[in-house]
Amino acid sequence: MNASREVVAILGGTGKEGQGLALRFAARGRPVILGSREAEKGRRIAEELNARLSSNLVTGNTNFEAARDGAVILSTLPYLGHLETATELRDSLAGKLVVTATIRWPPGLDGLPSAAEDLARALDGSTRVAAAFQTVSASSLKKLEGEPEDVLVFADSLDTRREAIVLVDSTGLRGIEGGSLEKTRVAEALTGVLLGINKAYGVKSTGIRITGLP
């Protein structure tokens, strides 16, 4: 089975970040389920994305059905409530790769854990948790062929990082080995700096590129 054809479920997928990711997967031929609190909202936004792409690869449903039916899980759940939702979905997430883009807010210079670390703790070893897309804005995601941008990928096991990097690469961005899940704090804090840069320069969506790689 071609891994890149596995269904990606996006929890909280009707938000801007989730929509941007769904567009990128579907534009590259991959089926996506948008999870939402309300199935109807999930379906409506899925149809909007399909119309934009002239495709039928995006479907919408509740977060519960999305978690159950997705082979791979991306979370763009908002920080407020992300742990409660993930905990409710625990059985459906067990054994799967869960890549979270959720950012602790306000982001951290203060020694507190990142949203990704909290998620891994809440799921308690039953899933492979990675963090990615923290620094990538929704509007960068929606520009399907924008300026090359990198995505720092964090997880405690090298295998999980590699698996998540394959997922990131399949969106057309470049996944970079960022290190252990704890270092997601750096990506969260960097996102705070990028938002300040947006404001200082009057732009909407700065991101990062790692220089010096082969």
Chain residues that interact with a copy of itself, rule: CB under 8 A: 109-112, 137, 140, 147-149, 152, 176-179, 182-183, 185-186, 189-190, 192-194, 196-198, 200-201, 203-214
Q: Which is nearer to a copy of itself, 6 or 182 (CB)?
A: 182
How many CB atoms neighbour CB 204 within 10 A? Answer: 10
Q: Which is nearer to a copy of itself, 95 or 214 (CB)?
A: 214
Q: Which of 78, 77, 114 is nearest to 190 (CA)?
A: 114
CB of 22 to a copy of itself, least distance (A): 21
CB of 35 to a copy of itself, least distance (A): 28
Q: Which is nearer to a copy of itself, 95 or 111 (CB)?
A: 111
CB of 97 to a copy of itself, least distance (A): 19
CB of 162 to a copy of itself, least distance (A): 11
How many CB atoms neighbour CB 69 within 10 A? Answer: 15
Beta bridge partners of 59: 33
Name the 3-class secondary structure at 122.
Answer: helix
How is residue 91 written in tokens? 């059985």
Q: Which is nearer to a copy of itself, 72 or 151 (CB)?
A: 151
CB of 209 to a copy of itself, least distance (A): 4
Residue 24 Cα distances to 45, 74, 76, 171, angstroms: 15, 13, 14, 5
Q: Which is nearer to a copy of itself, 78 or 192 (CB)?
A: 192
Q: Which of 40, 41, 23 is nearest to 32 (CA)?
A: 23
At residue 61, φ and ψ (nearest 5 deg) are: -165, -170
